[in-house]
Structures are given as structure tokens and as C-alpha cells.
Amino acid sequence: MTAQPATQVVTVEAGAITPGAAAIARAAQTLAAGGLAAFPTETVYGLGGDATNGAAVARLYAAKERPSFNPLIAHVADSAAALALARFDPAAERLAAAFWPGPLTLVLPKRADCPVAELATAGLDTIAVRVPSHPIARAILMAFGRPVVAPSANRSGHVSPTTAQHVLCDLRGRIELIVDGGPTPMGLESTIVACLDRPVLLRPGALARAEIERLVPLTQAPHAAAPPAHADEPPIAPGGLASHYAPRARLRLNARRVEAGEALLAFGPAPAAGAERAAAMLNLSPRGDLIEAAANLFSHLRALDAAGAATIAVMPVPRAGLGEAINDRLERAAAPRS
Ligand code: AMP
Ligand code: MG
């Protein structure tokens, strides 16, 4: 994929929504090639990328200009596909049976063999999963056959798009394809419920709380009312639930040399002084590419953490482009923990 794709708009006529329809096939091909394709869901237009392809997920964050890596929702065609990603407790099973397909996102324990890229879940052991009901979204997910991350198809800080024209205004020249299926029916984001211990409402949304409470009792997330950092982001609730990936090892940032016993998380072609004595070493991007670095961030941190060093020295990463989000996550991971 080129750095500056020409954005094509393809229209799906009402009544022509079949997995064989040209626009649906184009979207599936775009996703398979690591490209970005916006499409309508019943909530808002989503910016779709292959959830199993870390580089595609990194490009998606870059296209949206997100200053930090929020975990993304994995969209799948049906409950069977969701079962391959996450573990469902009885409450989650009941909610999925009642409200999927539809505007309900479930945050669940991630299966060990879950194929979704670490960057998409921001390194967490949980995953947010949804089966959308919009016929175009469903047809694309069926044709593609793998999970798709699809945050709202707008630049960070802008309002969520409910028409293809909104998407074009924000993302022209940044994504390969927009599937125009007319205005989205709901215009409000999905409701998010975590089923990790007992069901917790993480974000109110298009599915009313009362509907859910008819089936399972809901606990309000401890900090659900915290204001979002950016206008287009939901209130990040979850005291401890959406909390950040925290390595066991201490992180030493902006390291220009490696001390004895440290592991090294490198960036760029020039190794840090003393790299040869690092207990373990991985490079986020030997060619200094920030999109590649983002795709590798959480998986490399995990791998170095597993190698057992008490400290991971992290070379400086420039703050341009995705570097802002990379540094944000590194700083959070390095912060002292109680
Ligand atoms: P959206 O912007 O509509 O795609 O929603 C994404 C939101 O889902 C994120 O901002 C998080 O608040 C939430 N989310 C995704 N994955 C998780 C997770 N593993 N744990 C908690 N919340 C999550
Ligand atoms: Mg959004």
C-alpha cells in the first residue's frame, strides 16, 4: 500500500447487497491487501482494517491521527467467529444470543490463540468484540472472513461520520476505499459491556441499558463518567478494566546506552551503545519507520518482558506521526505502579 492512497468511493444500491456484489468484493480485497476501507454499520461509518494485520492496524491509527492507542473493537460476521477470539461466560452468552447482530460490544477475556494483532487490543489480555447488523457491514465481514477493526471513520477530535461524504471530508487521500451505503441508521456508537467477572457497563450507547438489564444485572464502571480526552472518543471508564498494558519489567526510556543486565528495545538502524551486551534485544523498526514500530510495539514489549530482564532500556522514538502515540504508551508503561 502506498503512503498516500487515492480514495475511491463505491456505492452499494439498496437491494444489491450480496457477498458477490462488486463493492463488497472490493472492500474484502482492500482489507486482504492490508488496506483501509470505510463502510457503514448500524451505528456510524467504521474505518475497517484487517484486525490480524498489525501494520494495517498501525496505518489505521495513523489515518485517524489518534494521539494514543485505544484498544479497538474486533468486528466479526457471527457469534461462531466471535467464539474463536474470546471466552464467553454465561452472561456474555445470553447477551450475544439476545443482541447480536446489533449495536452491542462485549469486552471479554482474549483466547490464547486469538489471531487479532496485539496493537488492536493495545496489548491487553481482553478483547472487545461486536457482530454488527448493518447488511453491508455483514456482507463485507462474511466476504473477508477475518476479524475487522472498525473505529469511527473520522480524524481524531472530529465528530463521528454518519454519511460517506463525512468520511471523504476527513479521510480523503488517507484510505483506499469508502463503501457508500447511504446514511447510517443510528448515528450513535455501540453500547459496551464487559463480561470479565460480572457484567459492567463501560459505555452507554445505541443499545439501551434497560434492554440489557432485562437479561443480566449491570454494574456501572467505577469511573464511567470521566470526560473523554478527545471529543470523538467515548468516556474511558473502566477503572482497571481498559487499563493499560503494563510489563512486569521496569522500562527505562530514551536510553542511549545499555547497562549490564538490561534488555533493549531498539528503534532505527543505529544500535544503542553497548547493544551487544543486552540480555535480549528487539528492534521496533530497523529502518526507523513509525508505522512498523507501532505494529511491533506491544508484541515486542511482551517478548522482552518474557525474556526475564528486570529492566528494558528503550531507545528514543521520534514524536512525529504515530510517534506521539508510541511515546504515550511507552510513558504509561514506564510510570511507577502502586
Ligand atoms: P470505538 O471508538 O467505538 O471503536 O470504541 C472503542 C472503545 O472500545 C475504546 O475506546 C475502549 O473504550 C473500548 N474498548 C475496546 N477494547 C477494550 C478492552 N479490551 N477493554 C475495555 N474497553 C475496550
Ligand atoms: Mg470515534
Mutate to test the pocket of ligand 1, among 106, 159, 196, 202 (most ligand atoms within 8 A of CB): 202
Q: Whose CA is nearest to atom 4 of ligand 1?
A: 151
Pocket test for ligand 1, best of 75, 107, 129, 148 (most atoms within 8 A of CB): 107
Q: What pLDDT does 237 receive?
A: 42
Residue 311 C-alpha cell reads as 529492566
Q: Which ligand is nearest to the CA of 43?
A: 1
What is the arithmetic mean of pLDDT over 284-303? 94
Classify residue 321 by burial, with Cβ atoms within 10 Å: 0-12, 13-18, 19+.
middle
Evaluate: CB of 160 within 6 angstroms of ligand 1. Answer: no
DSSP assigned state of 158: S
Ligand whose nearest atom lies closest to the CA of 162: 2
Nearest-CA residue for ligand 1 atom 10 is 70
Pocket of ligand 1 contains residue 177 by CB under 6 Å: no
Atom of ligand 1 nearest to the CA of 189: 3
Q: Model pTM?
A: 0.86
Q: Which residue has the cell 468516556?
A: 235
The ranges assigned to domains in the chain are 8-220, 250-334
How much is the pLDDT for 186?
Answer: 86
**Span 97-118, pLDDT tens digits:** 999 999 999 999 999 999 999 9
Q: Which atom of ligand 1 is nearest to the CA of 234?
A: 10
Question: Is 242 a pocket residue for ligand 1 (Cβ < 6 Å)?
Answer: yes
CATH for the stretch 8-220:
3.90.870.10
Q: What is the pLDDT of residues 305-334, one digit of tens each?
A: 999 999 999 999 999 999 999 998 899 889
Ligand with minimal distance to 244 CA: 1
User: How many angstroms separate the CA atoms of 223 and 235, rounded?
Assistant: 9
For ligand 1, say whether the CB of 108 is within 6 Å of any of its atoms.
no
**219-244, pLDDT tens digit by residue?**
877 654 444 444 444 444 443 445 57
Domain 250-334 homologous superfamily, CATH: Threonylcarbamoyl-AMP synthase, C-terminal domain (3.40.50.11030)
User: Closest Cα to atom 6, ligand 1: which residue?
Assistant: 72
Higher pLDDT, 336 or 286: 286
For residue 149, the ligand 1 atom closest to its alpha carbon is 4
* Residue 199 to residue 221: CA distance in whole angstroms: 10
Q: How far is the CA of 95 from the centre of ligand 1 (A)?
A: 18
Here the cell at position 308 is 526475564
CA pair distance 210, 8, nearest whole angstrom: 41
Q: Looking at residues 124-139, what average pLDDT do you find?
A: 96
The x, y and z cell numbers of residue 136, run together, are 453491508
Which of 44, 57, 192, when mutated, tests ligand 1's pocket best, judged by the most ligand atoms within 8 Å of its CB?
Answer: 192
